[in-house]
Chain A
């Protein structure tokens, strides 16, 4: 399950920047919303990775007696 982590981070960062860029062209405020969106994307990626890691830890503790 660990190889979920990388793609989670990359997609969220890219998506945050892309959404900021789209809003920029909409409101004509280049480049500020993209910068803010990039930070939000990094935060979302971090949050996603944190959740996946928590899940892995949770399921590992759960299945300790069966699997390992």
Chain B
């Protein structure tokens, strides 16, 4: 943020990505543990998911689903189909709860961020980077626990002639390490880009003369609708790639 005046800071389209501490907590061992709006947005995301499912369960589940119950069933079956397809029916049961948690948490955080005035934690590379790195380390642990040293053969694609192995191994290492980076950057970039577009259009609506300012404002409404679709699509892509990566580690080709 190069601007020095207070007014210019508020019209910057990137202004709402800044993290501000709301409840300051003194540093413990050099780590800043203050409650920022990102932390609060994360809590809201957790509360939305937890509240929705607790509401459904507390009403009692029946063989003939109520409206809310069928929403939950559709969502859970959607996740279960993904897990079944990419990890496998038997193996997938172990990872279903993790994959479901990832999906619902990211979806809730994306959607919470679309409420004007709230905060999108998935627009921070740190947050998505931690998700993706955690998933990457998890696949490594799963792979080594399941296959032992044989897991290293993931670096050699099947059917490669012996001469090509010294060439293929660095290529596979690069594409392996690129996975968590592309996973995190994709979610972060999509959310950041969408919210920046919204902020720019809002800026136009605020500064344009009255007779035309309805046009950018109308666009913000349309883009907001598009952003809801993107929130779902990005949560879906993140989850499906999580399944693919876990499935690769489990099945090993």
Contacts and interface: CB of A to CB of B under 8 A. Distances in A.
Interface string A53-65: 0000000000000
Interface string A1-18: 100100110011001100
Contacts of A44: 171-172, 174-175, 178
B171 A11 contact: no
A15 B177 contact: yes
A47 B176 CA distance: 11
Interface of A: 1, 4, 7-8, 11-12, 15-16, 19, 40-41, 43-45, 47-48
B237 interface: yes
Contact of A4 (B171, B177, B237): B237
Nearest to A40: B170
26 contacts: A1-B237, A4-B182, A4-B237, A7-B182, A7-B185, A11-B181, A11-B182, A11-B185, A12-B174, A12-B178, A12-B182, A15-B174, A15-B177, A15-B178, A40-B171, A43-B171, A44-B171, A44-B172, A44-B174, A44-B175, A44-B178, A45-B175, A45-B178, A47-B171, A47-B175, A48-B175
Contacts of A45: 175, 178
B80 interface: no
A2 to B, nearest CB: 11
A44 to B, nearest CB: 4
In terms of DSSP, what is the predominant structure of the interface of chain B?
helix
Residue of B170, B185, B189 with most chain A CB atoms under a 10 A cut-off: B170
Interface residues of B, number: 13
Interface of B: 170-172, 174-175, 177-178, 181-182, 185-186, 189, 237
In terms of DSSP, what is the predominant structure of the interface of chain A?
helix
Contacts of B171: 40, 43-44, 47
Contacts of B178: 8, 11-12, 15, 44-45, 48
Nearest to B181: A11
Contacts of A4: 182, 186, 237
Contacts of A47: 171, 175
B175 A12 contact: yes
A12 B56 CA distance: 43
